[in-house]
A and B are shown apart, each in its own frame.
Chain A
Amino acid sequence: MAETTSLVRPGPIARFGTVISDIMARPSGAIGLTLVFGHLMLALFGPFIVPYDYTEMDANFMLSKPSAAHWLGADHLGRDTLSRTLLGGREAILVTGIATPLAVIWGGLVGIFFGLVSGRLDEILMRVVDAFLSLPWILKMLVLIVTFGSGTEVLIPTLAFFYGIPVIRIARAATHDVVARDFVQAARARGHSRATIIQRELLPNVRDALLVEGAMRWSWMLLAFSSLSFLGFGVSPPTPDWGLMIADARGFMSFSPMGVLAPMVCLSSLIIGINLTADALAKALGIDRAQKAPV
């Protein structure tokens, strides 16, 4: 029966395809996804396409203007700005790319648990979360990094930890909405265990909110990572990194602006791309409130 098959639930791949095509159907989504995809490709294949090695110094071109040999000029050590800019996102994308899922998973699970148990424990712990969020993020992070060092093995868990805390709030709020619905009551009345209720009833309904939250967290985390690099606590030289490059080049900004502009444009375009994609994703998944509002 052709009619019946069309009603069969689409598989995960088909659903993924639908969501992607829905995002691409919106102008902002198409721009955002293209930007993000471009940056990811660059991070993957950058080393094969850059004209120079990122450590290669040429004293003749120190702080030079854009030229045929160095399209975007060179920095204060005579290194090619274009090559370093193209490679400058790899470390940031790698670190935040691992830390973001970690943050969403731990924050999400804790948030769902809080949302489900409610009551006194939830009240107390949420105030702790509030207290944590009221401190400036950079202060908390610097304390940890200064204590444990600024290697990738410290940065990833640190970022994952701090960026998981706001996720708790989102996951808890989303869970509160779902818990109040009758199908969770029905599962409780049948006598399912708490783990089953989380896994079967809550997670699938909170997942979309977490996906969008994850995308937003990613862009924040990129910004944080670059800020840390800028302050000298992120990537260590000579590894190219946008934050670090901006910090190095900002002294020469007046006569060699490309050294600051190029990494800035790259960082901004990635963050804008992620934000646009997150918005379009929220609309595609139907959790965007403004769009769902009646009339």
Chain B
Amino acid sequence: MRQIDIKTRNVIAIDGLSIGFRSRSGAMVPVLRNISLSVREGESIGLVGESGSGKSTLALAMMGYLKTGLMVMEGSASFDDIEMFTQTRGSLETIRGGRLALIPQNSGQSLTPTLRIGAQIAEALRLHSSLPKEAHDARVTELLSQVRLPDPVSISRRYPHELSGGQQQRVAIAMALAGEPEALLLDEPTTGLDVTTQAHILELLRDLARDTGMAMVYVSHDLGAIARVCDRVIVMYAGEVVLEGSAHKVLREPGHPYARGLLASIPKLKDTHLPRALDGRPPAPGYAGTGCSFVDRCTIASDQCRDVHPDLIQGTDPGSAKSRCHHVNQVDRIPLVGQRAVRQRDLPAATSLELDDLAISYARVTFLDKLARRESQATATVDGITITLRKGETLGLVGESGSGKSTILKSVAGLLPPVRGTVGAADESALPPRVEDRNASQLRQIQMIFQNPDESLNPRQTVAQILAQPLKLYFGLSGQELNARSTQLLEQVRLGGHYLDRLPSQLSGGEKQRVAVARAFAAQPDLVLCDEITSALDVSVQAAVLELLDDLRRENNTSYVFVSHDLAVVRVLSDRVAVLYQGRLCEIGRTKDVYGDPSHPYTKVLLGAVLEPDPDFAPTLVTNDAVELSPPRTGCPFQRRCPKRTGDICDSVAPPRRDFADGHTIWCHLENL
């Protein structure tokens, strides 16, 4: 626990704030309802909630900013006793960016691409500090080193695109610090970053809060990140605060059914059970029921919950949290951990996928290379991938962005032909590399589910049309048969026949991904390639999709290749895990061997950086978070970041393959793993 002196002065105070928009019928639809909260000097609070809970709207309201179409219905938001919504544009501009700074989610996009980093930070200094112009350069360097960027002088001369995502995030933080803010608003600052980068940024934020004494408001859906940086946590649901208390109280013994459900739906590295899904979905904005907004999804709801809107009430024990629930003393009945263990199965010897020495390159053969009749000089993006997958087995592919996980899937699907090696399926030793050359039965065997259902479902097609495509193509179904099979598929993914006429835009994120899953299973595939399929979903929805995937493989004995950057998600579903770095295999083995006793230095780095929704849990950071853009030409792919580098051998000789019991294989030079 951080020891900081929390003073009593409120930096940010929100009082009875309701924000809404006017619907087409003219009625006001609230998206935030009667929010009251305060942030004291030096305190960090976390705003947690799923998409649509209003957490970002609330954070922006703290800056006196409303998205187009939104208006304040009642209440006030003040910063240092200045009422933000009554300020003129001019006075808001002096506060924003100076005394009150915002760090947005994707800061790479919020940096001006044509200006050098140093110039952008100097601009912030010019606007928001009283420093004389001559002192700007020195201050820029100081700020860049404060956010722990290596070689700040050279960084300040670079352009944003020359920095990695994590470095851009650090620059954004440096810019926010330029005005020596009293409060820092962070809107999902680490979403989209790799686990190791995220862990480093969070450590930096913790240290900054301790050193500078600024107040921080941290908006995130990620309870792990919140646990790491926040003293106090506010859980939001349907535009309301449902639970507010110290990080320990909220994350250890959450006193609200929604918060408990949310915690239970998070896959945890130490827990081998499937996470528990929250049934149902949040009410639409402007929900005007008389009772509790969570009543339809609550397992302990009573008649009282249906009729009477609960107030946010502090518990009786000292230090207890404020909860908006009629049955605070019964919430213990809602379990916090998953129940369903992933089945341990005896797998048949039959294979469903065989990758033999696969190498994939994005580099195009240039005209000059062709003239000289030489091979392309570029190092292959993915190289030497040899993996055999048995029927019914699930293989997890993990690694940071750029590790070639998705590239391998595309190659298996035939969308990106490899430059070397073969892809073999159940009864064929080598499939044609290009999807256009594969025959119907080869195509049917392998199906792919994409990351974002908004992208993978055609917005112009109804669910019926979407499902009809594989059914017509592979089975020639039509008319009544087609309809019956589509309905059956929808029921398999826990939707119903009444979804057939809907367009994707009329479905929630989880429903869309279920339709995408149904479309893949329509082909009755032997192998389903899952490319980050839960990363665009809320955690409670993610848990439901994981459950569904587990059900479907039990029913159909399907094999999965499951790609994810979230190591906890991979753990719950996979029989075996392959760890990739820069397109090369580092380690492959049974999930319990790889996770239980990580051996490869990179596996240790990855697993050490994973966060847990527990305020006392600290990630282990052993190496820097530098991002490499291309694999080294010779030697071990991890040579430049490895904390256990043994010497020149790592740079020059490719690491040997070392086999251990139960098919556990590690590629490393280290003697004692």
- Residue positions of A touching B, CB distance < 8 A: 1, 4, 7-9, 181-183, 185-192, 200-201, 204-205, 295
B346: min CB distance to chain A, Å: 31
Q: Judging by beta carbons under 8 Å apart, are A190 and B506 in contact?
A: no
Contacts of B449-502 to chain A: CB distance below 8 A = 450-452, 455-462, 465, 469-470, 473, 498, 501-502
Give which listed residue, B415, B452, B457, contacts A189 with CB less than 8 A: B415
22 contacts between A and B (CB under 8 A): A4-B498, A8-B502, A9-B462, A9-B501, A9-B506, A181-B456, A183-B455, A183-B457, A183-B458, A185-B450, A185-B456, A186-B448, A186-B456, A189-B413, A189-B414, A189-B446, A189-B448, A190-B443, A191-B473, A200-B461, A204-B458, A295-B67
CA distance A57 to B462 in the complex (A): 62
CA distance A181 to B523 in the complex (A): 21
Asked if B661 is at the interface (CB within 8 A of a chain A CB), the reply is: no
Q: Judging by beta carbons under 8 Å apart, are B473 and A7 in contact?
A: no
Q: Cβ of B469: which chain A residues have Cβ within 8 Å of it?
A: 187, 190, 192, 200
B289: min CB distance to chain A, Å: 15
Given A8-B502, A9-B462, A9-B503: A188 touches B415 (CB 8 Å cut-off) = yes
CA distance A183 to B520 in the complex (A): 12
Asked if B371 is at the interface (CB within 8 A of a chain A CB), the reply is: no
A209: min CB distance to chain B, Å: 13
Q: Judging by beta carbons under 8 Å apart, are A204 and B461 in contact?
A: yes
Q: Cβ of B448: which chain A residues have Cβ within 8 Å of it?
A: 186, 189
CA distance A195 to B245 in the complex (A): 59
Given A8-B502, A205-B460: A182 touches B450 (CB 8 Å cut-off) = yes
Given A185-B450, A187-B469: A205 touches B498 (CB 8 Å cut-off) = no
CA distance A7 to B436 in the complex (A): 37
CA distance A219 to B448 in the complex (A): 45
Q: Cβ of A4: which chain B residues have Cβ within 8 Å of it?
A: 498
B509: min CB distance to chain A, Å: 15
Asked if B435 is at the interface (CB within 8 A of a chain A CB), the reply is: yes
Q: Cβ of B68: which chain A residues have Cβ within 8 Å of it?
A: 295
A181, A190, A204, A205 — which one has the most chain B CB atoms within 10 A of its CB?
A: A190
Q: Judging by beta carbons under 8 Å apart, are B473 and A190 in contact?
A: yes
Q: Cβ of B523: which chain A residues have Cβ within 8 Å of it?
A: 190
Q: Judging by beta carbons under 8 Å apart, are A188 and B435 in contact?
A: yes
Asked if B440 is at the interface (CB within 8 A of a chain A CB), the reply is: yes
Given A190-B469, A191-B438: A182 touches B502 (CB 8 Å cut-off) = no
CA distance A188 to B417 in the complex (A): 13
CA distance A1 to B499 in the complex (A): 12
Interface string of B377-404 (1 = CB under 8 A from A): 0000000000000000000000000000
Q: Judging by beta carbons under 8 Å apart, are B456 and A183 in contact?
A: yes
Give which listed residue, A9, A183, A204, A295, contacts B502 with CB less than 8 A: A9
Q: Cβ of A190: which chain B residues have Cβ within 8 Å of it?
A: 443, 447, 469-470, 473, 523
Q: Cβ of A186: which chain B residues have Cβ within 8 Å of it?
A: 448, 450, 456, 519
Q: Cβ of B413: which chain A residues have Cβ within 8 Å of it?
A: 189
Given A7-B506, A189-B413: A182 touches B67 (CB 8 Å cut-off) = no
Nearest 6 Cβ contacts at the A-B interface? A191-B443, A204-B460, A182-B456, A182-B455, A182-B450, A8-B501
Q: Cβ of A187: which chain B residues have Cβ within 8 Å of it?
A: 469
Q: Cβ of B460: which chain A residues have Cβ within 8 Å of it?
A: 204-205
Residue of A nearest to B452 (CB): A182
B188: min CB distance to chain A, Å: 16
Residue of B nearest to A181 (CB): B455
B246: min CB distance to chain A, Å: 35
Residue of A nearest to B440 (CB): A191
Q: Judging by beta carbons under 8 Å apart, are B67 and A185 in contact?
A: no
Judged by DSSP, the binding face of A is helix
CA distance A182 to B406 in the complex (A): 13
A75: min CB distance to chain B, Å: 52
A287: min CB distance to chain B, Å: 12
A192: min CB distance to chain B, Å: 6
Q: Cβ of A295: which chain B residues have Cβ within 8 Å of it?
A: 67-68
B499: min CB distance to chain A, Å: 9
Q: Cβ of A8: which chain B residues have Cβ within 8 Å of it?
A: 501-502
Q: Judging by beta carbons under 8 Å apart, are A192 and B473 in contact?
A: yes
CA distance A4 to B463 in the complex (A): 14
CA distance A201 to B458 in the complex (A): 7
Q: Judging by beta carbons under 8 Å apart, are A7 and B502 in contact?
A: yes
CA distance A7 to B504 in the complex (A): 11
Q: Cβ of A188: which chain B residues have Cβ within 8 Å of it?
A: 415, 435
B33: min CB distance to chain A, Å: 23
Q: Judging by beta carbons under 8 Å apart, are A189 and B502 in contact?
A: no
Q: Cβ of B506: which chain A residues have Cβ within 8 Å of it?
A: 7, 9
A111: min CB distance to chain B, Å: 18
Q: Judging by beta carbons under 8 Å apart, are B461 and A189 in contact?
A: no
B233: min CB distance to chain A, Å: 29
Interface string of B424-448 (1 = CB under 8 A from A): 0000000000011010100100111
CA distance A204 to B460 in the complex (A): 6
CA distance A188 to B470 in the complex (A): 11
B489: min CB distance to chain A, Å: 15
A8: min CB distance to chain B, Å: 4
Q: Cβ of B456: which chain A residues have Cβ within 8 Å of it?
A: 181-183, 185-186
Q: Judging by beta carbons under 8 Å apart, are A1 and B498 in contact?
A: yes
A93: min CB distance to chain B, Å: 31
Give which listed residue, A7, A9, A189, A201, contacts B435 with CB less than 8 A: A189
A17: min CB distance to chain B, Å: 16
B447, B452, B469, B506 — which one has the most chain A CB atoms within 10 A of its CB?
A: B469
Residue of B nearest to A202 (CB): B458
Q: Cβ of B455: which chain A residues have Cβ within 8 Å of it?
A: 181-183
Q: Cβ of A189: which chain B residues have Cβ within 8 Å of it?
A: 413-415, 435, 443, 446-448
Q: Cβ of A204: which chain B residues have Cβ within 8 Å of it?
A: 458, 460-461
Residue of B nearest to A183 (CB): B458
Residue of B nearest to A194 (CB): B436
Residue of A nearest to B448 (CB): A189
Q: Cβ of B457: which chain A residues have Cβ within 8 Å of it?
A: 183
CA distance A201 to B455 in the complex (A): 12
Q: Cβ of A9: which chain B residues have Cβ within 8 Å of it?
A: 462, 501-503, 506
Q: Cβ of B502: which chain A residues have Cβ within 8 Å of it?
A: 7-9
CA distance A182 to B452 in the complex (A): 8
Residue of A nearest to B504 (CB): A183
Residue of A nearest to B414 (CB): A189
B427: min CB distance to chain A, Å: 18
Residue of A nearest to B442 (CB): A191
A285: min CB distance to chain B, Å: 12
CA distance A192 to B438 in the complex (A): 11
Q: Cβ of B519: which chain A residues have Cβ within 8 Å of it?
A: 186
**Given A9-B502, A191-B440, A204-B460, 13 extra CB contacts under 8 A:** A8-B501, A187-B469, A188-B415, A190-B443, A190-B470, A190-B473, A191-B438, A200-B458, A200-B469, A201-B458, A204-B458, A205-B459, A205-B460
Residue of A nearest to B449 (CB): A186
CA distance A147 to B440 in the complex (A): 52
CA distance A4 to B501 in the complex (A): 9
CA distance A186 to B415 in the complex (A): 9
A291: min CB distance to chain B, Å: 11
CA distance A1 to B443 in the complex (A): 39
CA distance A290 to B457 in the complex (A): 25
CA distance A183 to B457 in the complex (A): 5
Residue of B nearest to A205 (CB): B460
CA distance A1 to B438 in the complex (A): 44
CA distance A31 to B598 in the complex (A): 70
Q: Cβ of A200: which chain B residues have Cβ within 8 Å of it?
A: 458, 461, 465, 469
Contacts of B261-289 to chain A: CB distance below 8 A = none
CA distance A271 to B470 in the complex (A): 46
CA distance A185 to B438 in the complex (A): 15
B272: min CB distance to chain A, Å: 31
B348: min CB distance to chain A, Å: 26
A8, A9, A189 — which one has the most chain B CB atoms within 10 A of its CB?
A: A189
